[in-house]
């Protein structure tokens, strides 16, 4: 063991080697994880310093996973403004008489990243209070603000019903997610669906049994199939697991919104006679009510602290929309690249696909992320941006890491994780009170084991005077 430490020290001191710029605890952790130095990109620099303290493969193009959200949220703050909010509009295409609409109700979306079930419920109550009870026409959805190619939810990882694979949509409700709660009741299992979906019947064929193994992968034993208007669940539920929940995305955004709207509207005593269809608001329609989202400065906390891919994609697309044009991915990418150029930030290796990092194509370097973080720190909106990042050992995706470390509460760091990718990027405050920028990207088959090396670097930087 002593020989190992001597060899480690020799490697650390070799001039011009990769390891010459990494602290020994970090090198050791990488070796234990069997991650070669060529598979990492690291940059550590004091916020106001011209040169980095540590730089390893910093210009290497790498997959950043969800640390790409730093680019999207910072651009969003500066281009849209911290008080920016998304609207969703309700139009009446017909005559409203004595609470009865003789015509269609049109909902027009503008890409609200967080139109939740609770917010829709409140808004529909407002529509009822304004004097709308019965709709004798159709429910028409205007999704024209986003012009997108068809989305394949299975494309990324062949997990089409995982909510994180939900595609962006101008009228996205509740992340398009259904919350299923499994409640054992003796030899049977009760399954509750939230929200209720009008027109969708749940066919519960799940049995309860004592089966070996732990409860970490309980849901692997239960299959879900949507056949027409029937959601069939079958399989074996482990009795020892108690109550569990699962979030799934099964319907297209328009069908999901229609099913939830009808269930809530009926619950409120409302009537909807017509069918669901898509269209655009005609000139003859009149604006009836508008719902406004929370401000962007609040929403980016969900995006960064909890790494919400769906919200990040909604924000990314919103950056490419103007009053004259609908949003699309190409416009969004062009907008971000022009903004970077205006800020004199040149990232030649940058590859954008959706702005969320849930991608095998997106690329950036540790150096570019560090320069981006330095720019954000000198922005008038630095407080809002930094507050959106997880606090180490306290909340978000960093809640369970370094909880007993001196670094807890002393760093705001965004995480990123894909198969073969482990990333962190953000700010660390050292004992002396100095602010440091830290970026640590790992692209390797053993990347998941690289968390200890990342933790070691965070602690090393935090202990600096």
Here the tokens at position 445 are 């088959």
Residue 20 has pLDDT above 60, yes or no: no
Closest CA to 229 of 264, 206, 262: 262
Q: How far apart are CA 248 and CA 215, in angstroms?
A: 18
Percent of the chain past pLDDT 70, that is, above it, reads 95
Domains plus CATH for the chain?
2-83+298-462 (3.40.710.10), 87-151+252-293 (3.50.80.20), 178-248 (no CATH)
Residue 179 has pLDDT above 90, yes or no: yes
Residue 7 has pLDDT above 50, yes or no: no
Provide the pLDDT confidence category of residue 213 given band limits of 50, 70 and 90: low
Q: Which residue has the higher pLDDT, 177 or 241?
A: 177
Provide the pLDDT confidence category of residue 322 given band limits of 50, 70 and 90: confident
Here the tokens at position 36 are 């070669």
What DSSP character marks residue 167?
A: P
Q: Which residue has the higher pLDDT, 242 or 96?
A: 96
Mean pLDDT for 270-282 is: 97
pLDDT given at position 142? 98
What 3-state class would DSSP assign to 300?
Answer: helix
What 3-state class would DSSP assign to 457?
Answer: helix
Provide the pLDDT confidence category of residue 186 given band limits of 50, 70 and 90: confident
Q: How far apart are CA 65 and CA 68, in angstroms?
A: 6
pLDDT given at position 342? 98
Q: How far apart are CA 441 and CA 417, in angstroms?
A: 10
Q: Are 428 and 414 in contact (CB under 8 A)?
A: no
The tally of CA atoms less than 13 A away on the side-chain side of residue 54 is 26
What is the pTM (predicted TM-score) of this model? Answer: 0.93
- The residues, any chain, with a CB within 8 Å of residue 50's CB and separated by 6 or more, are none
In terms of Cβ atoms closer than 10 Å to its own Cβ (0-12, 13-18, 19+), residue 253 is: buried
Q: How far apart are CA 106 and CA 286, in angstroms?
A: 10
pLDDT given at position 12? 38
Cis upstream peptide for 205 (omega within 30°): no
Residue 6 has pLDDT above 50, yes or no: no
Q: How far apart are CA 176 and CA 78, in angstroms?
A: 28
pLDDT given at position 323? 76
Q: How far apart are CA 65 and CA 387, in angstroms?
A: 20
């Amino acid at each position: 063991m002593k020989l190992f430490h001597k060899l480690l020290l020799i490697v650390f001191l070799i001039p011009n080697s990769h390891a010459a710029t990494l602290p020994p605890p970090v090198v050791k952790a990488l070796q234990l994880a069997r991650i070669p130095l060529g598979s990492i990109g690291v940059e550590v620099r004091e916020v106001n310093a011209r040169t980095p303290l540590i730089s390893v493969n910093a210009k290497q193009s790498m997959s950043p996973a969800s640390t790409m959200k730093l680019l999207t949220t910072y651009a969003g703050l500066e281009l849209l403004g911290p008080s920016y909010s998304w609207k969703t509009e309700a139009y009446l295409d017909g005559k409203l008489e004595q609470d009865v609409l003789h015509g269609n109700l049109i909902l027009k979306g503008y890409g609200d990243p967080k139109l939740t079930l609770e917010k829709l419920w409140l808004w529909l109550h407002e529509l009822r209070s304004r004097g709308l009870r019965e709709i004798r026409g159709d429910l028409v959805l205007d999704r024209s603000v986003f012009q997108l190619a068809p989305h394949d939810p299975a494309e990324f990882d062949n997990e089409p019903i995982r909510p994180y694979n939900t595609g962006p949509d101008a009228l996205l409700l509740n992340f398009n997610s259904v919350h299923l709660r499994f409640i054992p009741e003796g030899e049977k299992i009760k399954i509750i669906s939230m929200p209720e979906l009008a027109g969708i019947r749940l066919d519960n064929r799940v049995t309860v049994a004592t089966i070996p193994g732990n409860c970490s992968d309980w849901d692997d034993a239960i299959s879900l199939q949507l056949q027409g208007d029937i959601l069939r669940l079958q399989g074996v539920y482990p009795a020892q697991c108690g109550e569990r929940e699962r979030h799934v995305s099964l319907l297209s955004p328009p069908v999901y919104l229609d099913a939830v709207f009808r269930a809530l509207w009926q619950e409120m005593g409302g009537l909807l006679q017509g069918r669901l269809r898509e269209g655009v608001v005609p000139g003859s329609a009149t604006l009836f009510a508008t719902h406004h989202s929370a401000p962007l400065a609040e929403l980016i906390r969900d995006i960064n602290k909890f790494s919400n891919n769906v919200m990040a994609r909604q924000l990314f697309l919103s950056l490419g929309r103007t009053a004259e044009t609908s949003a699309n991915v190409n416009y969004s990418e062009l907008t971000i690249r022009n903004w970077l150029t205006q800020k004199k930030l040149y990232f030649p290796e940058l590859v954008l696909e959706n702005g969320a990092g849930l991608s095998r194509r997106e690329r950036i370097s540790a150096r570019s992320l560090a320069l981006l973080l330095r720019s954000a720190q000198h922005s008038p909106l630095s407080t809002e941006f930094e507050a959106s990042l997880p606090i180490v050992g306290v909340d978000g995706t960093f809640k369970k890491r370094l909880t007993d470390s001196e670094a807890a509460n002393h760093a705001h760091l965004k995480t990123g994780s894909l198969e073969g990718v482990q990333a962190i990027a953000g700010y660390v405050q050292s004992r002396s009170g100095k602010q440091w920028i830290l970026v640590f990207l790992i692209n390797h088959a053993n990347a998941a084991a690289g968390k200890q090396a990342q933790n070691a670097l965070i602690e090393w930087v935090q202990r600096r005077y």
